[in-house]
Amino acid sequence: MAKMTKRTECFMARTIGFIGLGLMGRGMARTLIRKGHRVSLYNRTRAKAEEVASLGGKVAATPAEAAREAEVVFTMVSDPPALFEVVESKDGILDTIRPGAVVIDSSTVSPQATLRVAERLKAKGASMLDAPVFGSKNEAESGQLGFMIGGDRKVFDSVQDLFEGCLGKSARYIGPQGMGAYAKLVFNLTICIMLQGLNEGLTLAAKAGIDPGLMYDVLMGGRAKAGIFEFKGPSVLQRDFTPFFPLKLMNKDLKLALDAAHALAVPMPALAAIKEVFSSAMAAGQAEEDFSSTIKVLERQAGVEVKRRS
C-alpha cells in the first residue's frame, strides 16, 4: 500500500494575514508558512517581515494590505495600544477586513481591549477570537504552543485546524469573548508568584551558605517540583537571562492582571507585591532581559548571587 506523505497536519491551506513578527509572531508565521498556508506578512519594522518572507509568504506594507485577501488574520503584538494601532488606525485591519473573516488575536491584552476590538470588527461583519498563548519562542517555531480561546464557539470550531496540530499542541476553549484574555492573565500571574517563591528560597539558601544548585536539586526532587522551575531554574543558576519572554512584557501582563483584579474586587496580595519587584527590575534597566532576572532584585538587597557552584 502506498505510504501517505504527511506534508502537514493542517487540514486545509488558508489565506492568512499575519501581523506582528516579534519573538513569538515570527515563529508562528514561519510555522504557518512551513505547513503550506498562503501568508501575507506585516511588521511595523519591515525588515522582520522580509526576514520571515525568505521562507515563503509575501510582505505587506500595512496591516490593511495583510488583511485584504485574508480569511484569517492573526495579530501578535505587544500590548493594547499596539493592538489598537494595527486594527483601528489609518491603514489598519478595519479598512480592508472581509465580511466573514476571523481575526485571531494572540497578543496578551486586557479583556476590555479584546471586547473593544471585537465590537469594531463585528460592525464590519468579521469575527474575533482572543487566543493568547503559553509557550515561548521555541514552541512558536515548532508549532507546540498552548492556546486559551475566548469568543464564539462556532467561530473557534471553524478555525480549529489552525490551532491543535498546526500552531499548537493544545487549544482550550475558555468561554465568550474576553475569557481567553482573562485566562492568560491568570496563567502569567500564577507563574510569576511561583517563580518568586523559588527566587526567594534560593536567595535565602545562598545567603545561608547552601549551594543554590544543590538546593534547587533538592526542591526538584520533592513536592516543590514545578514546570516553571524546570524551565527557568537551570538558566538562572547559570546566570543566563537571554529573553525567552522579556521582563517588560511580563511587567505589562502583571499590570493588566492587577487592573482586572481591581475591577472584579479580587484581593491579590502576592501579585501586588510581585508587581513591585518587577517595577524595581524595570527601574534597574532589566526590561529586555528574561523575566526570570527578577531574582537580581532580591540578590541586590541580600548581597548574594544565586549561582550553581557544583
Name the residues annotated as catalytic: 184
Q: Provide the 3-class DSSP secondary structure of residue 301.
A: helix
Query: CA-CA distance, 74 to 106, in Å (whole number)?
Result: 7
Over the window 2 to 41, marking each residue x when it contacts ligand NA7 by CB under 6 A and - when it does not, the resulting string is ------------------xxxxxx----------------
78 lines the binding site for ligand NA7 (CB under 6 A): yes
Query: CA-CA distance, 241 to 232, in Å (whole number)?
Result: 9
Q: Which is nearer to ligand NA7, 40 or 78 (CB)?
A: 78
Determine the Cα angle at 103 with ends 102 and 106, to 5°.
Answer: 135
Among 44, 98, 169, 207, binds ligand NA7 (CB under 6 A): 44
* Greatest Cα-to-Cα distance within the chain, rounded to the nearest angstrom: 68
Query: CA-CA distance, 151 to 159, in Å (whole number)?
Result: 12
Q: Which is nearer to ligand NA7, 26 or 296 (CB)?
A: 26
Binding piece for ligand NA7, criterion CB under 6 A, among 8-16, 76-84, 144-152, 195-203: 76-84
Among 31, 40, 43, 293, binds ligand NA7 (CB under 6 A): 43
Binding piece for ligand NA7, criterion CB under 6 A, among 70-78, 156-164, 228-236, 297-305: 70-78
DSSP state of 9: S
161, 159, 136, 166: which is closest to 34 by C-alpha?
166
Query: CA-CA distance, 86 to 179, in Å (whole number)?
Result: 22
249 lines the binding site for ligand NA7 (CB under 6 A): yes
Residues 98-117 that bind ligand NA7 (CB under 6 A): 107-108
Contacts 24+ apart (CB under 8 A), 208-216: 211/308, 211/309, 211/310, 212/237, 212/306, 212/307, 212/308, 212/309, 213/237, 213/307, 213/308, 213/309, 213/310, 214/309, 214/310, 216/308
- Residue 62 C-beta: closest distance to ligand NA7, Å: 10
127 lines the binding site for ligand NA7 (CB under 6 A): no
- Residue 140 C-beta: closest distance to ligand NA7, Å: 8
Q: Which is nearer to ligand NA7, 130 or 253 (CB)?
A: 253
Q: Which is nearer to ligand NA7, 110 or 199 (CB)?
A: 110
39: left (phi over 0), alpha (psi -120 to 50) or beta: beta
Q: Which is nearer to ligand NA7, 76 or 206 (CB)?
A: 76
Binding piece for ligand NA7, criterion CB under 6 A, among 42-50, 97-105, 142-150, 224-232: 42-50
CB atoms within 10 A of CB 230: 10
Which residues bind to ligand NA7, rule: CB under 6 A? 20-25, 43-45, 48, 76-79, 81-82, 85-86, 107-108, 249, 253
